[in-house]
Chain A
Amino acid sequence: MSVPVLKTFGLTKHYVEGALFLRQETLAVTDLDLEVFEGEIFGVLGPNGAGKTTTLNMLVGVVRPTAGRIELFGEPFVAGDTAPFGRIGYVPETTILPDFCTVQDLLFFFGRLFGLGKTVIRERIKHLLEVTGLTKERQTLLKRLSAGQRRQVDFIQALVHDPDLIILDEPTVYLDPVILVRLREMLRELKKAGKTIVISTHSLTEIEKLCDRVAVLHAGRCRKVEGRDEFLKAGGMEEEFMRIIRHDG
């Protein structure tokens, strides 16, 4: 756990809406410095509106930072550069998957976007569906899937190209306890395989059970970055999280 896969330096995002007198500026993320190391599971924890999603969207180049810079895999990440995306798998907070597609068709489409060959994609899809327990749903239309199963498809699309860095934004939403346990096991397996995982969530349980290190975000600022064990020693994840939030007012 020594090589930083991801680094941010003073990452800032201000959303500006309206013009002239109606101009409204919202500070989403301010001066964020993060460092995520190879092979770790890094949690981004924070209440609603803390800037978690904006941060992750900046990391995958979907949101342009107002200031600051990002380094991915030791290289500066320049806006418009799509090369690092071949090594990143991203599960956004919400997705609108086309209802008319089957699970396999959709995953095939994403695999092709990464320039993978048909045989490779087929094998990857087969493996990932087996791991997630969705093999039976391979030819099922997405509209026939439950919300939890669709969330799993979101997760699989991010892994279809076997990325080195996996970024998950609220991946546990809609998942039932059985799938949740399976997802945790899968993430641990990915970690064992040397993958780096960044996970943003509200769930303190997920953070406690999965993450090696945690960054607490509140009101767009990073309040604390520490190992999970340090959080636990300081009185438990919940107590420590609430203490930080109350301290900020």
Chain B
Amino acid sequence: MTVKVVWRSIRVTLLIGREVYRWATRERMMYGFLLLALLFILMANVPFVVDDPAVFSGQTPQQSAVHIGFVVLHIFIPLIAIFVTVSVLQSFLGRANLILLLSKPVRSWQVLAGAVIGLFQMIFLNWLLMTAGLWFILVSQTRLLAAYLWPGMSIALLMGLLCISLTIFFYLLVPNAMAGILTILMLVAGLGGPLAHETFLRESAPSSFRQMLALSTRLLPQVNALWGVSMARLHMFELEIDAGGVITETLILIFVILVFGFIKFQRTSRF
């Protein structure tokens, strides 16, 4: 009986996820970003055409191509994640749609879990197309398999999921486009995180206050850390970084954000 109930819950959640994925992949904005990203990725051909390390700061054409791909993926995946999430949530979690869904044998957590699953599927599709585009260029130009590209770029996928979770969380607090802006601000604030972390630890503020600020600045720069892992995996720089630790931290962070989101949604979804 319990197995049946659990299976039914999963099935309903996946059904909603599939529906959200369909909503997300109908977003014209997503195709705009994707097209732009693929055009930029095409530019990864340029280093091979120029074939002059002096032009690309002494890097080989292959390294330069990977750099271009890295920048494109790590900028466009978060952007697509944030903008499409806000756009989909505005219609999918709108009052009218929520009333329609919640008057069926559907629990509110299933609606939100479906949204996360559907949006993750959407970002996975984008990531797959972009990485495949870059990989195809590398393989066709170098005749090497370049298998390292996939695990390296998979960190962008994790960033996408982090952005989706953050946007959902902010959307539940501020149900409009401001949620996307808050997520971007959060990510930008994270860039200065390591410096702030050092500063807070050095300042002579009260210990508990310092610890709290230090903790918050430890969480914020997750994107920096993810970039580092991605760079290390793509052999872009010689970085000593605990990849496993950063990935685990990010997954915990995503989990915590989503749990808060679920609690908030559970309380507010039934008006």
Verify B22–A98 contact, CB threshold 8 A. yes
A62 near B: Cβ within 8 Å? Answer: yes
| Residue of B whose beta carbon sits closest to that of A84 | B105
- Kindly identify, within residues 72 to 89 of chain A, every residue whose CB is under 8 Å from any CB belonging to chain B: 79-80, 82-83, 85-86, 88
Verify B15–A92 contact, CB threshold 8 A. no
B235 near A: Cβ within 8 Å? Answer: no
Known: A61-B270, A79-B270. A88 touches B103 (CB 8 A): yes
Verify B96–A109 contact, CB threshold 8 A. no
- Kindly identify, within residues 50 to 94 of chain B, every residue whose CB is under 8 Å from any CB belonging to chain A: 91, 94
- Kindly identify, within residues 199 to 221 of chain B, every residue whose CB is under 8 Å from any CB belonging to chain A: none
Verify B104–A114 contact, CB threshold 8 A. yes
Known: A64-B270, A115-B8. A92 touches B99 (CB 8 A): yes
Size bracket, chain A contacts:
20 to 34
Q: Please, which residues of chain B bring their CB within 8 A of the CB of A61? A: 102-103, 270
Verify A96–B103 contact, CB threshold 8 A. no
A112 near B: Cβ within 8 Å? Answer: yes
Of B11, B91, B94, B97, most buried by chain A (CB within 10 Å of CB) is B97
Verify B103–A113 contact, CB threshold 8 A. no
Verify A82–B105 contact, CB threshold 8 A. yes
Main secondary structure of the interface of B (DSSP, over half): helix
Verify B271–A83 contact, CB threshold 8 A. no
A139 near B: Cβ within 8 Å? Answer: no
Return A131 CB to nearest CB of chain B, in Å: 21
Verify A82–B106 contact, CB threshold 8 A. yes
A205 near B: Cβ within 8 Å? Answer: no
Verify A82–B107 contact, CB threshold 8 A. yes
B23 near A: Cβ within 8 Å? Answer: yes
- Kindly identify, within residues 219 to 270 of chain B, every residue whose CB is under 8 Å from any CB belonging to chain A: 270
Chain A proximity mask over B12-29: 1 for CB below 8 Å, otherwise 0:
100110010011001000
Q: Please, which residues of chain B bring their CB within 8 A of the CB of A95? A: 96-97, 100
| Residue of A whose beta carbon sits closest to that of B102 | A62
Verify B104–A96 contact, CB threshold 8 A. no
User: What is the size, in residues, of chain B's interface with A at 8 Å between Cβ atoms?
Assistant: 25
Q: Please, which residues of chain B bring their CB within 8 A of the CB of A100? A: 22-23, 26
Q: Please, which residues of chain B bring their CB within 8 A of the CB of A101? A: 22
Tell me the bound Cα distance from A202 to B22 in angstroms: 36
Verify A114–B270 contact, CB threshold 8 A. no
Q: Please, which residues of chain A bring their CB within 8 A of the CB of B12? A: 113, 115
| Residue of A whose beta carbon sits closest to that of B12 | A113
Tell me the bound Cα distance from A113 to B104 in angstroms: 7
Verify A96–B271 contact, CB threshold 8 A. no
Return B13 CB to nearest CB of chain A, in Å: 11
- Kindly identify, within residues 47 to 97 of chain A, every residue whose CB is under 8 Å from any CB belonging to chain B: 57, 60-64, 79-80, 82-83, 85-86, 88, 90, 92, 94-96
Q: Please, which residues of chain B bring their CB within 8 A of the CB of A94? A: 96
| Residue of B whose beta carbon sits closest to that of A60 | B103
A110 near B: Cβ within 8 Å? Answer: yes
Q: Please, which residues of chain A bring their CB within 8 A of the CB of B98? A: 62
Q: Please, which residues of chain B bring their CB within 8 A of the CB of A110? A: 104
Q: Please, which residues of chain A bring their CB within 8 A of the CB of B16? A: 113
Tell me the bound Cα distance from A90 to B100 in angstroms: 8
Q: Please, which residues of chain B bring their CB within 8 A of the CB of A92? A: 96, 99-100, 103
Q: Please, which residues of chain A bring their CB within 8 A of the CB of B106? A: 82, 85, 113
Q: Which 8 A-B pairs have the closest CB atoms?
A: A90-B103, A60-B103, A82-B105, A85-B105, A100-B26, A96-B96, A113-B104, A92-B99
Other A-B pairs beyond A98-B91, A100-B26, A109-B15, 17, CB < 8 Å: A60-B103, A61-B270, A62-B102, A62-B103, A64-B271, A83-B105, A85-B104, A85-B106, A88-B103, A90-B103, A92-B96, A92-B99, A95-B97, A113-B12, A114-B105, A115-B11, A115-B12
Interchain residue pairs with CB less than 8 A apart (20) = A57-B99, A61-B270, A62-B270, A63-B270, A64-B271, A82-B104, A82-B105, A85-B105, A86-B105, A92-B100, A96-B91, A96-B97, A100-B22, A100-B23, A109-B15, A112-B15, A113-B12, A113-B15, A113-B101, A157-B100
Which residues of chain B have a CB within 8 Å of any CB of chain A? 8, 11-12, 15-16, 19, 22-23, 26, 91, 94, 96-107, 270-271
